[in-house]
Amino acid sequence: MAVIVDSEAAHLAAHQHTAWMLVNLLARADRVVSTVRVVCPPGVPLAGRVVPLAARDLTLDQALVQGGKAVDAVPVGLATGAESEDVVLVVGAQTGIDDHGPQRRHVTGFGWWGGVSSHPAAVPAALQDSPLPFGSYIAATLAVAEIFLHVRVPQRSAPSAAADYGWDCWTQDFSSFPSADARITAKGLDLSGTALAGVGAVGSTWVHALWATPGLRGTVLLADADKQGVTVTNLNRCPLFGHQHLNHPKAESAAKAARDCAIAWGPRSKRFEALGVTPQLLVSAVDTNRAREALQGRYPAVILSASTSDLRAEALRVGPPGVGACLRCYNVPEAFVGDDDLRALARAGGAATVAALAAGHGVSPEEVQRWLDQGECGEVGTRLLSSLREQAATGDTPRFAVGFTSVMAGTILAAETIKVLLGEPLRATFPEHNNVTFQFLKPMAPANSTGVLARDDKCPACPPTNPAMAVWRRRASGFTPPQQEE
C-alpha cells in the first residue's frame, strides 16, 4: 500500500485529516495490508489537531508515520514513491502523480463530505477551506473498505472499484461534492451537558472527531465500564487508541489522547446509568441491547445513537418521544449467554482473542487455547470464564468487526452531534427523518440513505401509558441548542 500526499495540497487541514485516517485505518488492517508506505512532502507543519497518536510538534510526514507505528500492527514507514505492486491512494493531487491505473484511487474529503474517485475530485475552491474533519474521515473509510473488499470479497468489490462516489454528512446522502449550504466551521460551539456512553470503536471515533474539530469547547462526560480496558482486539477498530493504551481504561485513555483541546473530558470507568446523572444530550455508542435499555431509562432530553453490524453502520436521532424509535425499540435485551457459548464466541475471535486473553490473565496462549477447546475446570478456566462473562455484560465479546465501519458510524455520530447542537435536522429535505444507514458491501446501493424509524409498538420503554414519557416529553421540549459564539 502507498498513501501519496500531493506536495501542493499537503498544507490543507482537509488533506491532512484524510491522509491520517487512511494511515490510521490501514495500519490496523492486519492480514489485509502487508505494509503502508507514506509518500509525503517533508517539512509541512500540522494544520491543527490531526494525529492524536503522535507528538504535536512533528511535521506532517513524521506525524503520519509515528501515528501509524503507534498502532504496532501493520508496518508503516516513509517512502519516496510507490512500488510497482502497490495499491495507491492519492490525497490532494491534481496533476503530477504517476498513473497506477486501476490500482490508483483518489481520496478526497472537505468539511462534511468525502469521496473516492478514479481521478482528482473537482471541488470548488470556496468549499476547500473548512477545517472540519468529518468528510476526510468518510473518504478514508470508503477507500479502505474498497481495499478490504478486494482482498476478502473480490467477487463483490468490482462494481465500486472504478466508480466515483461520495457521502455528505451534512445531508446524510450521496453527493459528488460538498453541500454549498453546509456550515464551514463549528467554532465557538459549547458541548457542555453532553455525555458519551461507551468508548469503544464507535465511541473513540466520536471523541477523535470532536478533538480534531477546531473551536469546540465545554465539558463532556465519557463513561465506559469495560474492566479489561483497551485490548489487542480493540486495536483493529478503535482509531484513537495505540499500543501504549493496552490494558488501560478506555474512557481515561480517550481523555488523555484528546486532552489538548478546549473540551474538558470527564472520564468515568463505570456504566453511564450507574453515575446517576441525566445530561441534556446523551450519545450512545454501546453495543448491547441491555445497555441501550438502561440508557433509555435515564430519559434525557436528546439521545443520539450509532452502532455497527459487520459491514453496516447506522445512526439514530432517538424520538421524538412517543413518535420515533427510542433506544429500547426493536432492541430486545439479550438472553443469558451460557458458558459453552462464551467459549465458542472467544474461539471465533481467533489468534488475536487468544493472545488478548493470555496477556490479560498472565497465562500462555497454549493454556487459553486448551481451555477454549476443552473447557476443563481449574484456576485458569475460572479466571477466563469470569472475564468472558464480564465482556458479555459490557458488550465486548469477540465479534466480526473492521475499523472502517466503526469510523463511519462514529463520524456520522459526531457530525449529528454537531448538527443537533447547531439546531440542524438530520436531513433538511426530509426533516422528519431520524435514521441513517450505510453499508459497504454495495456502497452505492439505494438502501444507503435516511428514513423514518418509528417507535416499536411492542416497546415497554416508550408507550403512552408509561409515566416516564411525560418526563421525557417535558425534557425534550425544553431542550434549546446552545448559541454558537464566533
To the nearest whole percent, how much of the chain has pLDDT over 90? 71
SS3 letters across 184-229? CCCCCCECCCEEEECCCHHHHHHHHHHHHCCCCEEEEEEECCCCCC
Residue-wise pLDDT for 219-277, tens only, equals 999 999 998 899 988 998 999 999 999 999 999 999 999 999 999 999 999 999 999 99
Residue-wise pLDDT for 44-67, tens only, equals 999 999 999 999 999 999 999 999
What is the residue range of 357's domain? Answer: 339-394
CATH number of the domain enclosing 430: 3.40.50.720
**Burial class of residue 42, CB neighbours in 10 A (0-12, 13-18, 19+):** exposed
**Burial class of residue 420, CB neighbours in 10 A (0-12, 13-18, 19+):** buried
Tell whether 60 is covered by a domain. yes
Tell whether 201 is covered by a domain. yes
Residue-wise pLDDT for 400-427, tens only, equals 458 999 999 999 999 999 999 999 999 9
Check whether 397 has a pLDDT greater than 50: no
Check whether 390 has a pLDDT greater than 70: no
Residue 325 and residue 346 in one domain: no
Residue 40 and residue 107 in one domain: yes
Of 372, 394, 416, the last residue of a domain is: 394
**Do 230 and 349 contact (CB within 8 A), yes or no?**
no
Residue 343 and residue 448 in one domain: no
pLDDT band at residue 382 under the 50/70/90 scheme? confident
Global pTM reads 0.88
Task: Output the pLDDT for position 361.
Answer: 73
Q: Which of 286, 275, 281, 223 is nearest to 252 (CA)?
A: 223
The residue type of 65 is: V
Task: Output the pLDDT for position 100.
Answer: 52
Residue 141 and residue 273 in one domain: no
pLDDT band at residue 428 under the 50/70/90 scheme? very high
Check whether 126 has a pLDDT greater than 90: no
**Do 1 and 26 contact (CB within 8 A), yes or no?**
yes
Based on the structure, what is the number of domains in the chain? 3
Q: How many of the other CB atoms lie within 10 Å of CB of 263?
A: 22
Residue 170 and residue 91 in one domain: yes
What are residue 240's DSSP bridge partners? none
